[in-house]
C-alpha cells in the first residue's frame, strides 16, 4: 500500500499516474467531493419541504432541477466512483497482481468522470434521473437536457471500461497459485458487479442515443406523437438500472465482508455461501426490472412474472445477512468505527429489503408506487446500505492510505448521528408515502400528517448534514495531523487475521 | 470455506423461500380479485394534461378538476394523456394508474361512503406537477 500522505509527492504525479492506488485515490477524493455536493442539494430539498409553500427555493423549476441533479450526482458521481476507488485499491492486491490489467485504460476511465460530472452540473437538467419521456423529449428545456444525456453517455462508457478492467484483472491476472475460490469476497463482489455492468449498461447507452435523436426530432422512438412509445424507454432504462442497484449494493456488501470478520476476530462463517449469493444475485438482478412499471398498464401476467423475479432476489440477499450475523456470533467483536458502520448498514439493508418485499407484492405497490414510500425505500439502500458500507470502508482504509489514524471519537459520533438521522428521514418517508404524498413535488397541501412527517424528515436530514461535516473535518485533519498508524495492525485486532494490504505494490 | 456443517443457513434460506412463496401467492390472489372489473361498471374517461384532469362521464357530461360519483355504483376509469406521462391517483381508494400518451389504461373502483377525497398526479410531469390536483366528490343518491 502506498502511503500517499506520509511520503508527499507533487499532485500532478498522482493525477497523471496510472498506478492503481493513485487512480483509486483520485476516485476516492472525487467521489467524496460529489458526496458533499449532492448532499448539499438534498439538504436544500429537505429545507424546502419543511413547510408547505415556498421556503428557500423560488420556483418549481429550480426545485425539479435540484432533485434531478441530486439523484444523478449521488448515483453516478458518488456511489459508482467510490466503489471503483475501493476496487482500484484492493482488487489487484487481493489477486496478487502488480496493478490493474490495463493501467492506462483505468486512468482513462477515471478521467472520463469529471467531464461527465461537469456536463451534469453545468446543465442542471430538470427531467428526473430517469429522464422521463415524452417529457424529456417535448418539454424539458435544453441545453440542460442534452448536456445531461451526453454526461450520462460519458459516465456509462467509463463504467464499462472500469468493468472490463476489473473482470480481466480478476480472471486473467490473478496469481497462478490462486484458485478462483481463494479470491477474497471483496474481489468476488467486483467480479459480480462488473459482469452485471457489462450486460446491463449497453441497453441504456442505446436508449440515451434514441432519447437524443428523439429530442432532435429526427426519430420518434419514445414520442407518441411520432408513433413511438414511452413505455419502451421504461423497459430499456430499467433493464439497465434495476441491475445497476445490484452493481452498487454488491461492492458495499463486499466491503462489509472485509470489515465484519476482521472486527469480529473470526473467519467468515461461510465463504462459499457468500460467493454463491453474489453469483445468484447477479443473475436474478436481471429478472425484476419491470417491477418499477406495475402502474404503467402492464398485464396481470407480466406483473406476476416480475413480482416472482423480484422475490427471487430475497433469499440471496438474506444469505448475506445470515453470513454476517453468523460471523459475528460468538466473535470477540471490537466496536470501532468501521464495524459500527458495517453493522448499521446491515440493519438498514434488512429494513430496506423488507420494505422491498412489500413493494414487490402487486396490490401493495399501488399504494406505495411514486409516493415518498419509494423515496424512503431506495434511500435505505443507497444511503443506509451502500453509503454506510462505503463510509465504513473509507474509515477502514484510511490508515492504509494516509499512514495515519482518523479520530475514533469523531468517527463514532459521525456514525451515531448518521444512523439516527437516516432512520428519522427514511423510515418517516415510508409512513409519509402511506399517507399518499407523491414524490418529486415542490409544494404540498397543508395536511397536518404530511407537515409533521416532512418536518421530522427535515430534522433528520440536518442531523446527517452535521455528521457529514464532522466526517469531513476528521478526514482532512487526521490525514495531516492524525496519529501515525501501526500499518501492520492499525485497529489493534491482534494482527492474527489476514490483511490484504500486507503485500505492497510498488510504483512501476 | 467452512469445514463445519451449514444446516442452519439452509433452514434459514428455506424459511425465506417459504415466506416469499406465501407473499407471492397472496399478492397474486388479491391482485386477481381487485383487477376483475364488474360488468356493470360505468365508464369515465380520465384525461391528464399539463397540469389538470378532465373527466368525461358515459352520458357525455364533462367535468374539469372535480369528479362527481355516487355510492353503490362501480366505475371504470379509462385513463389517457394528451401530452406527457401522468399518474391518476385517488389515494384514499388506492386508485392508481399511469396516464400514458398513446395508450388507454384502465382501473376501477366502487365508492362506498359519501365524502370528499383528493385526486392527485403521482408521476412527474413538469413544472406544476406538484399542484396537478383535483377533488373526488362521492354522493349518496338516496339522500
Which domains can be identified in chain A, with CATH numbers? 20-494 (1.20.210.10)
Distance between CA atoms of residues A187 and A168, nearest Å = 12
The predicted pLDDT at position A480 comes to: 87
In angstroms, rounded to a whole number, what is the distance separating the alpha carbons of residues A461 and A468? 11
The predicted structure's pLDDT at residue A10: 83
Question: With bands split at pLDDT 50, 70 and 90, how would you rate the model's confidence at A12?
Answer: confident
Same domain, B30 and B52: no
| Cβ–Cβ contact B116 with A under 8 A | no
pLDDT digits (tens, 9 = 90+) for A82-120: 999 999 999 999 998 999 999 999 999 999 999 999 999
Chain A residue numbers with beta carbons less than 8 Å from the beta carbon of B126 are: 64, 135, 139
Which residues of A fall within a CB distance of 8 Å from B124? 64, 127-128, 132, 135, 439-440
Question: For residue B134, what is the nearest residue in chain A, using CA coordinates?
Answer: A445
Q: How confident is the model at residue A214 (pLDDT cuts 50, 70, 90)?
A: very high
Point out the residues of chain B with pLDDT beneath 50.
1-2
Under 8 Å between Cβ of B95 and A367? no
Query: Which chain A residues have a beta carbon less than 8 Å from that of B127?
Result: 60-61, 64
Q: Do residue B49 and residue B118 come from a single domain?
A: yes
Across residues A179-207, what is the average pLDDT? Answer: 96
Find the residue in A nearest to B6 (Cα).
Answer: A270
Q: What is the mean pLDDT of residues A471-499?
A: 85
Q: Judge contact between A114 and A282, C-beta under 8 A.
A: no
Enclosing H/E stretch for A388: helix A388-402
- Are the beta carbons of A444 and A52 closer than 8 angstroms? yes
Determine contact: A354 vs chain B, CB below 8 A: no
Q: How far is B71 from chain A (nearest CA, A)?
A: 22
Cβ–Cβ gap A370/B27 under 8 Å: no
Of the candidates A242, A221, A201, A261, the residue with the CA atom closest to the CA atom of residue A396: A261
**Nearest CA to CA, how far is A126 from chain B (Å)?**
8
The β-bridge partners of B55 are B46, B63
The C-alpha atoms of residue A46 and residue A423 are separated, in whole angstroms, by: 15
- Residue B70 contacts residue B139 (beta carbons within 8 Å): yes
Q: Are residues B95 and B61 in the same domain?
A: yes
Do B57 and B114 belong together in one domain? yes
Instruction: Give chain B positions within 8 Å (CB) of A138.
Output: 83-84
Q: B98 and B64 in one domain? A: yes
Q: Does B7 touch chain A (CB under 8 A)?
A: no
The residues near A323 (Cβ < 8 Å, ≥ 6 apart) are A257, A268, A269, A270, A273, A274, A277, B9
Q: Which of B8, B15, B16, B49 best probes binding to A when mutated, by most A CB atoms within 10 angstroms?
A: B16
**Least-confidence region, from A203-207, A244-248, A400-404:** A400-404
Residues 6+ apart with CB under 8 A from A31: A77, A78, A79, A81, A82, A85
Looking at beta carbons, which residues of chain B come within 8 Å of A439? 122, 124
Q: Reply yes or no on whether the pLDDT at A223 is more than 70.
A: yes
Do A487 and A403 contact (CB within 8 A), yes or no? yes
Q: Count the Cβ atoms, other than its own, within 10 Å of residue A105.
A: 16
The string of pLDDT tens digits covering residues A50-74 is 999 999 999 999 999 999 999 999 9
Residue A3 pLDDT greater than 60, yes or no: no
B117 close to A (CB below 8 A): no
Cβ contact A135–B27 (<8 Å): no
Q: How confident is the model at residue A499 (pLDDT cuts 50, 70, 90)?
A: low
C-alpha cell at A463: 442531523
Q: Is A65 on the interface with B (CB under 8 A)?
A: no
Minimal Cβ distance to A295: which of B12, B87, B102: B87
User: Considering only CB atoms, which chain B residues are within 8 Å of A272?
Assistant: 1-2
**Per-window interface: A 226-265 vs B, CB < 8 A:** 228-231
Whose cell is 448499521? That residue is A344
- Tell me if ipTM is over 0.90: yes
Closest chain A residue to B104 measured between Cα atoms? A297
Residue with cell 503485500: A503
| One domain for residues B51 and B97 | yes
| Residue B85 and residue B107 share a domain | yes
Residue showing cell 450520462: A152
Chain A residues in contact with B35 by the CB 8 A cut-off are 300
For residue A36, give the 3-state DSSP assignment.
Answer: helix
User: How far is Cα A177 from Cα A156, in angstroms, rounded to an integer?
Assistant: 34
Q: Could you write out the three-class secondary structure of A372-385?
A: HHHHHHHHHHHHHH
| CA-angle at A262, arms to A173 and A398, nearest 5° | 75
Q: d(Cα A494, Cα A265) in Å, to the nearest integer? A: 9
Domain count, chain B: 2
* pLDDT score, position A504: 54
Nearest to B96 among A127, A295, A444 (CB): A295
Q: Does B49 touch chain A (CB under 8 A)?
A: no
Q: Under DSSP, is residue A422 helix (H, G, I), strand (E, B) or coil?
A: helix
Q: Are B98 and A298 in contact (CB under 8 A)?
A: no
Question: Among A190, A168, A18, which residue's Cα sits nearest to residue A91?
Answer: A190
Residue A506: its pLDDT value, please?
58
What is the residue whose three cell numbers read 476482521? A262
Where residue A96 falls (left for φ over 0; alpha for ψ -120 to 50; beta otherwise) is left
Q: For residue A474, what is the enclosing H or E element? A: helix A448-481
Residue A2's pLDDT band, with cuts at 50, 70 and 90, is: very low
Confidence check: pLDDT of A242 > 60: yes
Helical spans, DSSP H, in A312-336: 313-328
Judge whether B105 and B98 are in contact, CB under 8 Å. yes
Chain A CB within 8 Å of residue B137 CB: no
**B123/A138 CB distance under 8 A:** no
Tell whether B32 and B76 lie within a shared domain: no
Q: Answer yes or no: do A60 and B128 touch at CB < 8 A.
A: yes
- Sorting pLDDT into bands at 50, 70 and 90, what band is A489? confident
A345-358 mean pLDDT: 96
pLDDT at A449: 96
Flag whether residue B37 sits within 8 Å of chain A, measured between CB atoms.
Answer: no
Q: Which residue of B has its CA nearest to A325?
A: B9
Q: Are A28 and A90 in contact (CB under 8 A)?
A: no
The overall average pLDDT reported for chain A is 93
Phi-psi region of B126 (alpha: psi -120 to 50; beta: other; left: phi over 0): left
Contact A170/A146 with Cβ under 8 angstroms?
no
SS3 B75: strand
For residue A454 the three cell numbers come to 416532512
Chain B touched by A311 (CB under 8 Å): yes
Span A269-324, pLDDT tens digits: 999 999 999 999 999 999 999 999 999 999 999 999 999 999 999 999 999 999 99
Is the same domain home to B30 and B66? no
Name, in order, each residue with C-beta under 8 angstroms of A186's C-beta and a sequence gap of 6 or more.
A86, A90, A91, A94, A251, A254, A255, A257, A258, A500
As a whole number of angstroms, the distance between CA A369 and CA A377 comes to 11
Q: Characterize the bridge pairing of strands B75-81 and B42-49.
A: parallel
| B36–A contact, CB cutoff 8 A | no
Task: Tell me the CATH number at B115.
Answer: 2.60.40.420
Q: Which of A271, A297, A367 sits opposite B103 (nearest CB)?
A: A297
Q: Look at residue A1 in the predicted model and tell me its pLDDT.
A: 41
Spatial CB neighbours of B64, under 8 Å, sequence gap ≥ 6: B52, B53, B54, B55
Under a CB-based contact definition with an 8 Å cutoff, are residues A451 and A51 in contact?
yes
> Per residue, what are the HEC states of A140-165?
CCCCHHHHHHHHHHHHHHHHHHHHHH
Chain A touched by B102 (CB under 8 Å): yes
Of A267-281, A412-426, A480-494, B105-119, the least confident:
A480-494
Around Cβ A99, how many Cβ atoms within 10 Å? 20
Sheet of B62-64: strands edge to edge? Answer: B62-64, B52-56, B42-49, B75-81, B105-109
How many Cβ pairs closer than 8 A exist between chain A and B? 158
Q: Measure the CA–CA gap between A100 and A210, rounded to whole angstroms.
A: 34
Q: How far is B54 from chain A (nearest CA, A)?
A: 19
- Any residues with CB less than 8 A from the CB of A243 and at least 6 apart, and which? A196, A199, A200, A285, A286, A289
- Report the helix count and the strand count for chain B, using DSSP H and E: 1, 10
From chain A, pick out residues whose CB is under 8 angstroms from the CB of B89. Answer: 370, 436, 438
Range of the domain at B5: 1-36
Instruction: List the one residue out of A193, A330, A185 whose CA is nearest residue A272.
Output: A185
B11 and B59 together in one domain: no
Of residues B13, B92, B102, nearest to A224 (C-beta): B102
d(C-alpha B141, C-alpha B143), whole Å: 6
Q: Are residues B92 and B114 in the same domain?
A: yes
Same domain, B64 and B121: yes
Q: A336: helix, coil or strand?
A: coil
Amino acid at each position: 500500500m502506498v502511503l500517499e500522505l506520509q511520503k508527499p509527492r507533487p499532485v500532478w504525479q498522482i493525477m497523471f499516474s496510472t498506478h492503481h492506488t493513485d487512480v483509486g485515490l483520485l476516485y476516492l477524493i472525487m467521489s467524496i467531493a460529489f458526496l458533499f455536493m449532492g448532499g448539499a442539494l438534498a439538504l436544500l430539498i429537505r429545507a424546502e419541504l419543511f413547510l408547505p409553500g415556498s421556503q428557500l427555493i423560488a420556483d418549481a423549476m429550480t426545485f425539479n432541477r435540484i432533485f434531478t441533479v441530486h439523484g444523478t450526482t449521488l448515483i453516478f458521481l458518488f456511489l459508482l466512483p467510490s466503489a471503483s476507488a475501493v476496487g482500484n485499491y484492493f482488487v489487484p492486491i487481493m489477486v496478487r497482481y502488480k496493478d490493474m490489467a490495463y493501467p492506462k485504460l483505468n486512468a482513462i476511465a477515471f478521467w472520463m468522470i469529471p467531464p461527465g460530472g461537469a456536463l451534469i452540473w453545468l446543465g442542471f437538467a430538470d427531467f428526473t434521473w430517469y429522464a422521463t419521456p415524452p417529457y424529456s423529449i417535448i418539454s424539458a428545456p435544453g441545453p440542460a437536457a442534452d448536456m445531461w444525456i451526453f454526461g450520462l453517455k460519458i459516465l456509462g462508457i467509463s463504467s464499462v471500461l472500469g468493468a472490463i478492467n476489473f473482470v480481466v484483472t480478476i480472471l486473467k491476472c490473478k496469481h497462478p497459485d490462486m484458485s478462483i475460490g481463494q479470491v477474497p469476497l471483496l474481489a468476488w463482489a467486483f467480479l459480480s458487479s462488473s459482469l452485471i455492468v457489462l450486460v446491463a449498461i449497453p441497453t441504456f447507452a442505446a436508449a440515451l442515443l434514441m432519447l437524443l435523436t428523439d429530442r432532435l426530432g429526427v426519430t420518434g422512438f419514445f414520442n407518441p406523437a411520432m408513433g413511438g412509445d414511452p413505455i419502451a424507454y421504461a423497459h430499456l432504462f430499467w433493464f439497465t438500472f434495476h441491475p445497476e442497484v445490484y452493481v452498487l449494493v454488491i461492492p458495499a456488501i463486499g466491503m462489509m465482508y472485509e470489515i465484519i470478520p476482521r472486527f469480529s476476530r473470526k473467519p467468515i462463517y461461510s465463504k462459499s455461501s457468500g460467493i454463491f449469493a453474489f453469483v445468484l444475485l447477479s443473475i436474478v438482478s436481471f429478472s425484476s426490472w419491470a417491477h418499477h412499471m406495475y402502474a404503467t398498464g402492464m398485464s396481470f401476467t407480466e406483473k406476476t412474472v416480475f413480482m416472482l423475479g423480484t422475490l427471487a432476489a430475497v433469499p440471496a440477499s438474506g444469505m448475506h445477512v445470515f453470513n454476517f450475523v453468523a460471523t459475528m456470533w460468538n466473535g470477540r467483536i471490537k466496536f470501532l468505527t468501521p464495524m459500527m458502520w458495517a453493522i448499521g448498514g446491515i440493519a438498514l439493508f434488512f429494513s430496506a429489503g423488507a420494505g422491498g418485499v412489500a413493494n414487490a407484492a402487486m396490490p401493495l405497490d399501488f399504494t406505495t408506487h411514486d409516493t415518498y414510500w419509494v423515496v424512503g425505500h431506495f434511500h435505505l439502500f443507497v444511503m443506509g446500505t451502500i453509503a454506510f458500507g462505503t463510509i465504513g470502508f473509507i474509515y477502514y482504509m484510511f490508515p492504509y492510505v494516509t499512514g495515519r489514524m482518523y479520530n475514533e471519537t469523531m468517527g463514532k459520533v459521525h456514525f451515531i448521528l448518521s444512523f439516527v438521522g437516516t432512520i428519522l428521514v427514511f423510515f418517516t418517508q415510508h409512513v409519509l408515502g402511506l399517507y399518499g404524498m407523491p414524490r418529486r413535488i415542490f409544494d404540498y397541501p397543508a395536511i397536518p400528517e404530511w407537515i409533521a412527517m416532512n418536518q421530522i424528515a427535515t430534522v433528520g436530514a440536518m442531523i446527517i448534514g452535521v455528521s457529514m461535516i464532522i466526517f469531513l473535518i476528521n478526514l482532512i485533519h487526521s490525514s495531516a495531523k492524525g496519529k501515525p498508524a501501526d500499518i501492520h495492525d492499525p485497529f489493534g485486532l491482534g494482527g492474527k487475521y489476514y490483511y490484504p494490504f500486507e503485500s505492497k505494490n510498488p510504483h512501476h | 470455506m467452512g469445514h463445519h456443517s451449514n444446516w442452519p443457513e439452509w433452514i434459514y434460506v428455506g424459511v425465506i423461500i417459504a415466506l416469499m412463496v406465501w407473499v407471492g401467492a397472496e399478492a397474486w390472489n388479491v391482485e386477481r380479485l381487485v383487477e376483475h372489473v364488474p360488468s356493470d361498471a360505468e365508464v369515465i374517461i380520465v384525461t391528464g394534461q399539463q397540469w389538470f384532469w378532465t373527466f368525461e362521464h358515459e352520458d357525455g357530461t364533462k367535468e374539469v378538476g372535480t369528479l362527481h360519483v355516487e355510492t353503490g355504483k362501480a366505475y371504470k376509469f379509462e385513463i389517457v394523456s394528451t401530452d406527457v406521462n401522468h399518474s391518476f391517483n385517488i389515494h384514499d381508494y388506492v386508485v392508481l394508474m399511469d396516464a400514458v400518451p398513446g395508450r388507454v389504461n384502465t382501473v376501477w373502483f366502487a365508492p362506498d361512503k359519501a365524502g370528499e377525497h383528493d385526486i392527485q398526479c403521482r408521476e412527474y410531469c413538469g413544472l406544476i406537477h406538484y399542484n396537478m390536483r383535483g377533488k373526488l366528490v362521492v354522493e349518496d343518491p338516496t339522500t
